[in-house]
Chain A
Amino acid sequence: MVRTFLVRGLLVGLLAGLVAGGFAFAFGEPRVDAAIALEEAAAQAEAPEPAAAEEAGHSHGDEAEVSRPAQKAGLFLATGLYGLAVGGVFALVFTGLRGRVGPRSDGLLALAAAGTAFVAVILVPFVKYPANPPAVGDPETINSRTVLYLVMILVGLAATAIAVATARRVTADPWARWVAAVIGFLVPVGGAWALLPTVDEVADGFPATLLWEFRLVSIGTQLVFWAAFGVLFGWASERAAQRTNGVPVSAAAPS
């Protein structure tokens, strides 16, 4: 049963990753191209040092190690592999939660867990450290920004655990449990948002509209991924359980 869930998580994750890649390709690539054009225009203006971009270990132009068309194909490779990895981990967490925490239905548990994962692992870091297009961000600070981003992911996961533990202590009506869960989640998350250092590396003159649209597409790509993954995994896990039990879905006895 664990194996079945894991394999389905990997496959469904790959599929959802490719769907999210399609969204990112259609709506994100034009913005990435626009940002790269601005970056190259700025590099031209800083001439006579055309090698400046390469010195920083990064370039987008024709002389880049991977060409732009290949990078656009790489987008699907990246989102597909991302989906595969995330889907596998999700499936194992799902298997552990099943029957212990959350809805007592595979389909609903998959949707609830995917929604929670999107909020805790994607939205919580995004609010503090939003996605940046090419040309935004100082390559010198990539390590510290990556660490801060990972810290926000861990904060989101810890806050989710705190929220669930808090809600379970409340035995009153369901509304009180929801309030306890939301407070248990928002207190650590809000604390981290307030206390962790702010990153502001948007260059003067970078178009605000382009930055906003890029960020919207970026969070949209993740939303598409998690929505597609939640629905597909819910469907796949329902079918897996149905087949293993040999019981039609609707005939399962309510407990």
Chain B
Amino acid sequence: MYGAIGAGLAAIGAGIGVGQIGGKAMEAIARQPEALADIRTNMIIAAALVEGAALFAIVISFIAK
């Protein structure tokens, strides 16, 4: 039960984080389409870092049940 709540909270956090990254990356690409490759790589790195934090939370929620 608590694990499910924890997983939900982690999903909210990751959603906000990845949404921000994606949105800003879109803006950046729209402004400078020629920098697409660089922006994409950095976007994925940042998204991976955010997701990493959320994944820790999810692993802990697995353990906590």
**Chains A and B bind each other:** no
Q: Which B residues have a C-beta under 8 Å from some C-beta of A?
A: none
Q: Which A residues have a C-beta under 8 Å from some C-beta of B?
A: none
